[in-house]
Amino acid sequence: MATGGIRAGRRTRLGLPDNDSQYRGGQQRAATRRSAQAFETSRGEPFKDTEFSGRSDYGPFIAIGIPAGGLFTGAEVPKTAAEAAIWGGVAGAQLDPCYHQFCDNLRGDGQNAALYAQLREDYELVGNINVDALDVNADAIATAVLTFAYDTSTVNAVAGKPGKSNGLYKNRASR
C-alpha cells in the first residue's frame, strides 16, 4: 500500500516516512522510500525524513502486515525556521493550517486570511491545495506505481513482467 497522505498540502516540506523497522514490512516499505528518494533527487526536490508512526490512513494496513510507504507534506505541527528556509512559508505556523479542518477545501472558505496572504507569497494555492506540491507528488506517486507495476522484486523478491501476477492470483471465476 503506497500512501500519498496529504500530498497537496501547503508544500511546507516534502517528507519521506522513515519506514522504521518497528513495523512489519520494513524491508518492503524501504523499497517504496527508495523509489520516492530517487524521484525527488532526480527532480532536485529537497526532502526530509518524516516519522512513520502509523497514525495516518496507512496504520491499519501495517497493523496487519501489509507494507506501506508514501509521501507527506505536513500536518498540524509547526513549521521550523529551517523548514521555511528550504520550502518557503511561515515559520511557526502549522505545516498545514487547515489539517483535518473545515478550511481544508478548494475555495479557501474559513482560512486565516492574514496567514494565507503570507503563504500565497511563496505558493500557488487553490483553496488549501498547493499546486506545486500536487504536481510534484502526483508525479512521484505515478513513478512509484509504474515502477512497482513493472517490477516488484525490490518489494517481494519476485521478478516479474508487467501485467503478470506470476501465478499469485488464479482465475477467480473458477472459485
Ordered per-residue pLDDT tens for the chain, 175 residues: 444 444 444 444 455 555 444 444 556 667 777 888 888 889 888 888 777 666 777 778 777 877 677 777 878 889 999 999 998 899 999 988 998 899 999 999 999 999 999 999 999 999 999 998 889 888 988 888 888 787 777 777 777 665 555 555 444 454 4
Run of H or E residues at 35: helix 26-43
Dig out the grid coordinates for 110 from the structure.
474559513
Tell me, letter by letter, the H, E, C secondary structure of 92-105: CCECCCCCCCCCCC
Tell me, letter by letter, the H, E, C secondary structure of 132-167: HHHHHHHHHHHHHHHHHHHCCHHHHCCCCCCCCCCC
Q: What pLDDT is attached to residue 94?
A: 92
Domain count, the chain: 1
Q: What is the CATH number of the domain that holds 111?
A: 3.40.630.10
With contact defined as beta carbons under 8 Å apart, do 133 and 10 qualify? Answer: yes
How many C-beta atoms surround the C-beta of residue 146 within 10 A? 12
Residue range(s) defining the domain that contains residue 115:
2-174
- Cα three-residue angle 32-34-38, rounded to 5 degrees: 120
pLDDT tens digits, one per residue of 79-116: 999 999 998 899 999 988 998 899 999 999 999 999 99
The pTM score is 0.74
Q: What pLDDT is attached to residue 165?
A: 53
Q: Where are the beta strands (DSSP E) in the chain?
A: 2-3, 15-17, 48-50, 69-70, 125-126, 129-130
Dig out the grid coordinates for 52 from the structure.
512513520
